[in-house]
Structures are given as structure tokens and as C-alpha cells.
Amino acid sequence: MVWGSLERGQQPRRSNRVSLALLATGLLAAGCNSAEDSGVAALLAPEGSVGAQSSNEASRFLVQASFGPTPGDIEFVENLSYSGWIESQLGMPMTEYLAPLILETFVGNEVSDDVNRYDFWESSVLAPDQLRQRMVYALSQILVVSDRDQGLGDRPLVLAQYKDILTEHAFGNYRDLLDDVTYSPAMAQYLTYLRNRKADMASGRVPDENYAREIMQLFTIGLVMLEMDGTPSPGDIETYDNEDVKGLAKVFTGISYQSDEFFNNDEEVEHLPLITFNEQHSQEEKTFLGLTIPANTDADTSIQMALDHLFAHPNLAPFISRQLIQRFITSNPSPDYVRRVAQAFERGSYQLPNGRDVGEGRRGDLAATLCAVLLDPEARQDPLTAPSDFGKVREPVLRFAHWARAFRVTSADASKERMLRDTTGTGNLSQQPFRSPSVFNFYRPGYIAPSTATGDANITAPELQIVSEASHVGYVNFMSDFIRDDTPDQNGATGDEFRPNYTEELALADRPAELLDRLDTLLTYGLMADETRDRIIAVLNEIPIGEDNDEEDRETRVHTAVLMLTTSPEYMAQR
């Protein structure tokens, strides 16, 4: 088949149903159905029958599972099935962050402090291990460190080592991930337990409580007891109190850089996993969450006992599973969806539609959990008939990366693009990887937008926390510059690194309907509403293609079509 063609005659006419995106642009007025209305039970297909039946379905799957489809990716998934693509991604070598920087220093080159603002853009757009990198991005929004604070902005090797931790464990086990995160210099600096010392009665010093609080609240168990489906247990029982924080804080004492000296500031070791110094570790009895670590237990043993106890908590599976569903599929997952994914987390294994198993059978297996997220019946349901509360507002980072991948930008070397130096402002994307404003990420997983239709329906919509009139205008201007290849390099000249390739689109510029067919599959996986299509075609028809200015007029048509579609409700929301 020809990838770019859509058989529109087989689809009924449809109107804009992308309710979350309409909300983001202030247009939503419709109500929301419950998850039970979606008929999930009817979606449970026989094992082995789940796979992309069209280029649109393949494109939609890749929007959920990667940083966006390319034409080749769409064809790959359509021909090989979801299982085949997932298996190929699970077996793919990982993109590394630290090793290239170490090599630069080894050959005598200076590593720029800004490298951490650029390298993930290149990975998200060009790295072949797309599923792993998308998981890295999801985990980075749960186990948050940010180069905005605690000096991480001028420690490129430290943050690169943290990215490698997330990359290495993206398909590994959450318990192992917690271990490496705890001993990572980036997290220790960010949450201020680096060189955290035992209490001293004479000076009044007490252990720093920052990591103890956040590892419970944000990284493992949350604030209230949960059922396996992610809903609060009856009575809204708090998971921990301040005494638990104090007890756990004693555990994370005596941690510093790899050195003979606890207070060593040697930059040569600042990117290596941390070690413990028992003379600075609290030797007191440590009690938290029903666990008591005996007095005089050494630092490493105390840490392992604490992490084991947190990992064994019944909240962990639903707490992490729900957030992964939010990052990949939908902001407001049904309890049944959360339960199914949490059960895969508990089992540590998942059977793909092709009958092969993913996971090592050990509780906390993230590869198995991720497969459960992506292949769940709710994730794979028809977006045209899904409940109106299904889906999510796509965060700006994903929208921009999708555009860059769809049109195969030249090199994605963000270090040469001035506009990518810091995209956190509302005049840009209001967001940049590894640069969140706090440990609570860019948006809270339980955020319910006030004074909105979703808020009135009590629907969680995290990404709406960074949506405003200013951020939307900033996004449109930002995308316009990149779509037209009119972005400055670091010296002010026009940059060449994110130059899009519109060869196929330019060939269709004089046939707007065919051009929109292609863009619909590539950008909105067949969900472009007829109203949107008619509006874009009407605008394109107002742009003449003259004999004397043929090339420029064709570019104007393509740029206009791409901009209108990447700022449309169908693109802004993921269904």
C-alpha cells in the first residue's frame, strides 16, 4: 500500500470530539462519560489479534509509545505489529549520555555547562531507542531532578550520569532504579542529602529530611493509602506522618562522593555513584512505616533495608502504574485500567499479543509494566468511540519532538539553536526536559483544573497546569518559526540544525486534499475533523501558486498547512 494515502471514503464524517484539547483552547462545553460507558470488556480481543490494522492506527500507537511517528516507523508497525515493534525496541542498544561527555574530556575538549539543555532534544528526535527514551522522559517526571536548582546547571557530567541511570533501568526493575537513584550525585544534590550528617545534640543539628519526605510522597507510596486500582482506600488513611519522615531521614546520612574524605570536592568524582561513610551515619535506631532498623546498623545496610521496605509497600504498584499511564496514554485512567497495569507490575511479566512474554517475573519489572500500559484495551480502543474523558492534553515537548521527527529534521543539534537553549518560558514551550520548576515536576499527577469543564467533572488533567493564553500564543509562535525554518543559531544567523524536510508535502502542495490526507496520518492519525480539514483547505486555496514563484508559493502552502494542523485541537490532544 502507499503509506501517505488515506481511504477517507471508509470513514464516517466526524466533528471535533477531542474534548481535552478543546478545553486547552477554552472551547469545551460538553460533559464527560464515565469509564464504564466505554465498553472495555468488549474490547478484549483474542490473544494474538491485537495489531495495527491501518497506517492511522500505527501512527496513533507511535504517538503514545515514542516521541512521534516517522513515515518509516508507521510502515514498520503496520507490517510487523505492535508486538514486533515493542520487541525490537526492548532489544535495542541504549542511547548513552555520560560516555560521550567523558570522551570529550578525555581528548581535551571542554564540556559546555549547557550540554544538558541540548542532548535530550537530540535523543528524543533522532535516537533509535525511542521507547526507552520515551520511558526515560516519563521517569524523569516521577523521579525528578532539575538543572534549575542546587548547582546542577553547571555540572553536566552529574546530570548526564542521572540520565544514564534512568536509561539503564527504563526496562529494568523499579527496585534497582530506586537504588541507583538514591546513590546518584544528581538526586543527592537536588534533594540536599549529599553529605547529610547524623544528629548532633550539642549543635542542634538534625538530619536533612528532604529526600526522606520526597521518596515517600513522590517516588514510591504517595500521601494516602490506595487500592490496587489507584483509588484512595476508605477513610483517606495517610501513608506516613512526620515521625516517619524523621525516622527515615536518619537512614540517608553519611552519603558523599567516592573519596577518602567525606567533605571532598574533587570534580573528577562528582559524576560517580556515591558511597557511604559510617562515621557520619546515624547509629541510632531508625523507625518508620512500621519498620525498625536496629541501632548500630551500618549505612549501606540501613539504606537497603529502607528501600526494600518502601518497595514492598502495597501502594507502590498502583501509585507508579497510574502515573505511567498518565505519561503515555491518558490523564484520567479508569480504575480498571490502573488495576490491570498494577497487576503486571506485581507479576513482573506481561504476555504480548504474539504470545511471547516480557519481563523477568520479578515484582517491579518496568518493561512488563510499560507493555501493560501501551497494550491495554483502553489504550488501544477506537479514539472515535472512546469516552470523552479519555486522552490527554499533549505536553509541548512531545508536540515539538513529534513535528521534528515527522519531517526528519537535518541533525537535531540543539546546541546550535538559540531558541532551544531554554524553552521553559511561556514565550516558548513552557517546558524543557530535566528543567522543571521543582521536584513536583511541571504539573502534579492529581491536578484538577479549576473553573473548567474537566474540573467540574473532577477529571485529573496534569498538563493543563501549564496551559494558559500566554503559553498557547508562545507555542504557536515557537512552532511557526521552526516550521518555516526561520530560527536563529547562537550567533543570530538562521540555524540549519532543525531544518525540516518537506519534499513529499511540497509535491502535494497543488493538491490540498491529498496534502491533508498525508498530514492527517502523520500528525493526527486520522482524527482530523472535517471542519478542520475544510478550514485548512479553504486557507490553502487562498494562497495561489504562481508560475514565476512556484517554489516559494508551494512552501507557503505547506508551512501554513503544517502550522494550522500542529496548533489544532486534534494535534494538541492525544486520543
Residues 6+ apart with CB under 8 A from 165: 177, 180, 181, 184
Q: Which pLDDT score, from 0 to 100, does residue 115 have?
A: 85
Read off the C-alpha cell for 400.
515539538
Q: pLDDT by residue (tens digit) across 220-238?
A: 999 999 999 999 999 999 9
Read off the C-alpha cell for 161.
550520569
Query: Is the pLDDT at 355 greater than 50, yes or no?
Result: yes
Angle, helices 130-140/119-126, rounded to nearest 10 degrees: 140
Q: Which pLDDT score, from 0 to 100, does residue 496 have?
A: 75
Residues 6+ apart with CB under 8 A from 437: 146, 148, 424
Query: Is the pLDDT at 216 greater than 60, yes or no?
Result: yes
Q: Which pLDDT score, from 0 to 100, does residue 21 have?
A: 36
Q: Which pLDDT score, from 0 to 100, does residue 12 have?
A: 34
Read off the C-alpha cell for 212.
526522606
Locate the DSSP E strands across 41-136. none
Q: pLDDT by residue (tens digit) across 442-457?
A: 999 999 999 888 899 9
| In contact, 63 and 575? CB cutoff 8 Å | no
Q: Which pLDDT score, from 0 to 100, does residue 80 have?
A: 87
Adjacent-strand bridge partners of 4: none
Query: Is the pLDDT at 53 greater than 80, yes or no?
Result: no
Give CA 481 to chain center in angstroms: 24
Q: Which pLDDT score, from 0 to 100, does residue 209 have?
A: 98
Measured distance CA(339)–CA(227) in Å, rounded: 9
3-class SS at 457? coil
Query: Is the pLDDT at 11 greater than 90, yes or no?
Result: no
| In contact, 512 and 541? CB cutoff 8 Å | yes
Query: Is the pLDDT at 4 greater than 50, yes or no?
Result: no
| In contact, 66 and 131? CB cutoff 8 Å | yes
| In contact, 403 and 68? CB cutoff 8 Å | yes
Q: pLDDT by residue (tens digit) across 506-559?
A: 999 999 999 999 999 999 999 999 999 999 999 999 999 988 778 999 999 999
Instruction: Specify the length of the chain in residues.
Output: 575
Q: Can you give the pTM of this predicted structure? A: 0.91
Measured distance CA(372)–CA(367) in Å, rounded: 9
Q: What is the average pLDDT score of the chain?
A: 89
Closest CA to 544 of 520, 513, 516, 512: 512
Least confident of 110-124, 200-214, 258-272, 338-352: 110-124
- Give the confidence band of 117 by pLDDT, cuts at 50, 70, 90: confident
Read off the C-alpha cell for 51.
495489531
Measured distance CA(568)–CA(531) in Å, rounded: 11
Query: Is the pLDDT at 332 greater than 70, yes or no?
Result: yes
When pLDDT is averaged across residues 460-485 and rounded to a whole number, the result is 95
Query: Is the pLDDT at 305 greater than 90, yes or no?
Result: yes
Q: How far is CA 324 from CA 269, 373, 538, in A?
A: 33, 7, 40
| In contact, 86 and 61? CB cutoff 8 Å | no
Residues 6+ apart with CB under 8 A from 534: none
Burial of 42 (0-12, 13-18, 19+ CB in 10 A): exposed
Residues 6+ apart with CB under 8 A from 263: 195, 256
Please calculate the CA angle 344-347-352 and round it to the nearest 5 degrees: 50
**Phi, psi dihedral angles at 287 (to 5 degrees):** -120, 130
Closest CA to 521 of 12, 5, 1: 5
When pLDDT is averaged across residues 120-137 and rounded to a whole number, the result is 96
Q: Which pLDDT score, from 0 to 100, does residue 17 have?
A: 32
Q: Which pLDDT score, from 0 to 100, does residue 266 have?
A: 80
When pLDDT is averaged across residues 384-395 and rounded to a whole number, the result is 95
Read off the C-alpha cell for 502.
518537506
| In contact, 157 and 102? CB cutoff 8 Å | yes
Measured distance CA(20)–CA(18) in Å, rounded: 6
DSSP string computed for 340-400: HHHHHHHHT-EE-TTS-EES-SSTTBHHHHHHHHHHSHHHHS-TTTS-TT-SEEPPHHHHH
When pLDDT is averaged across residues 334-361 and rounded to a whole number, the result is 98
Chain position carrying cell 543539628: 205
Quickly count: other Cβ atoms within 10 Å of residue 13's Cβ.
8
The letter for the amino acid at 249 is: A
| In contact, 401 and 63? CB cutoff 8 Å | no
pLDDT greater at residue 115 or residue 403: 403
Q: Which pLDDT score, from 0 to 100, does residue 51 have?
A: 63
Query: Is the pLDDT at 28 greater than 80, yes or no?
Result: no
pLDDT greater at residue 490 or residue 269: 269
pLDDT greater at residue 22 or residue 300: 300
Q: Which pLDDT score, from 0 to 100, does residue 43 have?
A: 33
Burial of 162 (0-12, 13-18, 19+ CB in 10 A): buried
Measured distance CA(112)–CA(375) in Å, rounded: 40
Q: Which pLDDT score, from 0 to 100, does residue 50 have?
A: 53
| In contact, 21 and 572? CB cutoff 8 Å | yes
Burial of 541 (0-12, 13-18, 19+ CB in 10 A): exposed
Torsion angle of alpha carbons 356, 359, 363, 366, nearest 10°?
Answer: -120
| In contact, 243 and 236? CB cutoff 8 Å | no
Task: Assign residue 408 a region (left: φ > 0; alpha: ψ between -120 and 50; beta: otherwise).
Answer: left
Residues 6+ apart with CB under 8 A from 265: 257
Least confident of 21-25, 52-56, 424-428, 472-476: 21-25
- Give the confidence band of 347 by pLDDT, cuts at 50, 70, 90: very high
Q: Which pLDDT score, from 0 to 100, does residue 572 have?
A: 96
